[in-house]
């Protein structure tokens, strides 16, 4: 398959390497050209523009930071809408708002192009191992066209229906639940610390049985070790996603009080200079509120 890839950040780098390693004809583009060097050495072509990355491609994957970036890439002058061939697929794998995905879907349809929304679940190390979860939504035949890519990027594809915005809603909901779990752990660890108990004890109790899931094991361990500097998902990214969750909830008239709590904790962490640390640093913010730090 002839594949273009735009966005070579923490997730884009390992994902694009999986595509290249799967034997696909890959061309990559990134605003910071230095990030293309490793992939070029591994055999990928390097595009000089978005139009160049689209030329003759079956699928172009975007993995960019936010709504503003994906709209610029897709809808800006010389972007995907202007440059993809008829019937080519924009495979949007970043985390974006419901409204942004609706806008992109309409724009591509008007240009006789295809659109699949397929945000991923997992951190960079999971991406490197090809073990991401993928939530895919769009017309069934178009999603099926992307399946060879899903097979090498992820461990499982969750089909979220024919409406592309459904995948965005699933991804945002998943991140909300994860954020709420981190916030709950932060509160619990602060409570036991106030009673003179080492957080490791609670961690062992939690993850021995009832909460023996990766989310609790990975983020609970980060909180116990206070290893916030090794950011797999930054606090600033968490705030972006909570704002997207609340925007989607507002549009659908769904009250989500817990999402507001997580957002406020993230805002506090950012105000204290922890925006680029792992979003588990919400636990440090909870400690501050509890008089521990």
Local structure of residue 85 (DSSP, 8 states): P
Could you give the residue ranges of the DSSP H alpha helices within 111-234? 124-128, 140-145, 147-153, 165-194, 199-208, 214-225
Q: Please state the φ and ψ torsions of residue 209, each to the nearest 5 degrees.
A: -145, -80
Cα 43 from Cα 160, distance rounded (Å): 34
Cα 72 from Cα 78, distance rounded (Å): 10
The question of whether 171 is a catalytic residue gets the answer yes
Q: How many CB atoms lie within 10 A of CB 274?
A: 22
Point out the catalytic residue in the list 171, 194, 221, 240.
171
Q: Classify residue 252 as exposed, middle or buried by CB count within 10 Å of its CB (0-12, 13-18, 19+).
A: exposed
What would the DSSP string read from start to end of 145-175? HTHHHHHHHEEEEEE--SSTHHHHHHHHHHH
Enzyme catalytic residues: 171
């Amino acid at each position: 398959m002839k594949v273009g890839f735009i966005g070579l950040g923490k997730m884009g780098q390992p994902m694009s390497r999986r595509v290249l390693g799967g034997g696909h004809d890959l061309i990559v583009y990134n605003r910071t050209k230095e990030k293309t060097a490793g992939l070029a050495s591994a055999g990928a072509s390097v595009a000089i523009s978005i139009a160049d990355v689209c030329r003759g491609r079956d699928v172009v994957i975007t993995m960019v930071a936010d709504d503003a970036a994906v709209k610029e890439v897709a809808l800006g002058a010389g972007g995907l809408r202007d440059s993809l061939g008829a019937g080519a697929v924009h495979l949007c794998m970043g985390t974006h708002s419901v409204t942004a995905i609706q806008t992109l879907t309409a724009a591509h349809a008007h240009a006789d192009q295809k659109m699949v929304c397929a945000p991923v679940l997992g951190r960079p190390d999971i991406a490197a191992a090809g073990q991401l979860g993928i939530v895919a939504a769009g017309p069934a035949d178009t999603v099926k066209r992307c399946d060879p890519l899903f097979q090498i990027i992820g461990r499982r594809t969750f089909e979220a229906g024919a409406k592309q915005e459904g995948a965005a809603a699933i991804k945002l909901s998943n991140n909300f639940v994860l954020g709420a779990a981190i916030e709950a752990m932060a509160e619990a660890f602060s409570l036991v610390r106030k009673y003179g108990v080492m957080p490791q004890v609670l961690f062992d109790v939690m993850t021995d049985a009832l909460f023996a899931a990766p989310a609790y094991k990975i983020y609970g361990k980060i909180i116990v070790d206070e290893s916030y500097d090794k950011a797999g998902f930054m606090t600033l990214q968490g705030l972006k996603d909570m704002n997207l969750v609340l925007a989607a909830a507002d549009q659908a008239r769904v009250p989500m009080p817990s999402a507001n709590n997580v957002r406020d904790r993230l805002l506090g962490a950012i105000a204290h200079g922890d925006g680029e640390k792992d979003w588990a640093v919400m636990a440090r913010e909870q400690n501050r509120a509890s008089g521990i730090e």
